[in-house]
Structures are given as structure tokens and as C-alpha cells.
Amino acid sequence: MSNFNYKKILIIGATSGIGQALAEKFIKEGIHVVVTGRREDRLKAFTEQNGGAYEVFDITKLQEIPKFVEKLTQEHHDIDAILLNSGIQRGFNFTKPETIDLDVITEELTVNYLSYIYLTTALLPFLLKKEASALIYVSSVLAMVPLARCPNYCASKAALHQFVLSLRNQLKETSVKVLEIMPPAVQTELHDETNQPGKPAV
């Protein structure tokens, strides 16, 4: 990360997987980290072991995002990079429409896409005032090549990818850089039956 020019990063969705691994890497590189997520026990354990700070928040509570961002940016006014990483993946079989839970569809879309829009909207006034800052989005290669087992997940990541492309274009004359990480398949809780019901354990 020698060319990572930011000093303090907020990682949204850091209780496991890619977010947690990146948080560990940033800390090892001497970058200050604030981790967030809904599971306080994991956040507390992470900061006790690795350092940094944590804030508990459930991003599905969309209407609470502005207050969360206001509180966090007041307490950590020196944050200059945001990594948005939260995500869930559910399997759906539309050959059996009676098995489709539309509430789960809505939850997946909220976590994987709508929360990112709400967070971006709330964070931009803070970031635009800085001389240099970055918004970093974790999408997926499934945004480009979908997997039939999880159509809604792929659609949410495709929507996020298109949003990032448009946002980058809109912000190109500002001090806010817009980056996208498109990881391949990795072994995280997305592939764990306990945390991601409906997916066979591997």
C-alpha cells in the first residue's frame, strides 16, 4: 500500500472477511483505522488485538445513517478515506417461486446497494471539504458475470458497479477520488451456511 495516500480510513463492514482483512493490513501499514459493523463483540475483539477504534452500526437502518455519519465524523474529523464493504448473499430459485422470500430480497438489496447510496449521500458533504479524500466501494466480479444461484446478489453488485462509474464521472473535478474493488471469489462468510443461510457450506 505504498501508494495509498490517506492517513485514516473508515471501514464499513469490518467484522469479517474482506473488510476485516483489509483493516488488519491498513493497521500494519501504519494507517489509522475505524471499523464499523453491527456485531460489537467482533469489533471490540478486533480493536483489542489490532488497535484502531470502532463504532457499532447496522446499515440496514437507512434513516439513521445521517445521524451516524454526523456523530462519527465529529469524533473522527481526520478520516480521509471510506471503504464501503458490507454485503450479504442469498440463494434464490425462481423455478420454485413459492420459495422466494421477498423480504429477504429487499434486505439483500438494502445491504448491498441502498445502504451504499445513503452512506455516500451522507458522507459527501464531509469529504468534499477536504483537500483530498477517497470513497472506495467493494463490488464483485459477479457484477459482470452473474451466478445463477444468487441472482439478486449479482444484480445488486451490478447496480453498485454502475453507480460507482457514474459517481466517479460526477466527482472527477472534485477532491474526492472514487475507487472500486472487484474481488474474485474468496472464502468469507458469504460462503458460510451459518452466516449466509441458503448457501451450502463449502
Question: Which residues does the annotation mark as catalytic?
Answer: 153
Asked whether the beta carbons of 197 and 90 are under 8 A apart, the reply is: yes
Bridge partners, 94 (sequence order): none
Q: Around Cβ 54, how many Cβ atoms within 10 Å?
A: 22
Angle formed by the axes of helices 115-127 and 65-75, to 10°?
40
Say how far apart CA 115 and CA 66 lie, in whole Å: 11
Q: Which three cell numbers stand for residue 85?
A: 464493504
Rg (CA), the chain: 17
Between strands 81-84 and 53-56, the pairing is: unpaired
- Three-class DSSP category at 86: coil
Angle at 160 between CA 6 and CA 59, to 5 degrees: 75
Q: Where are the beta strands (DSSP E) in 85-199?
A: 133-138, 176-181
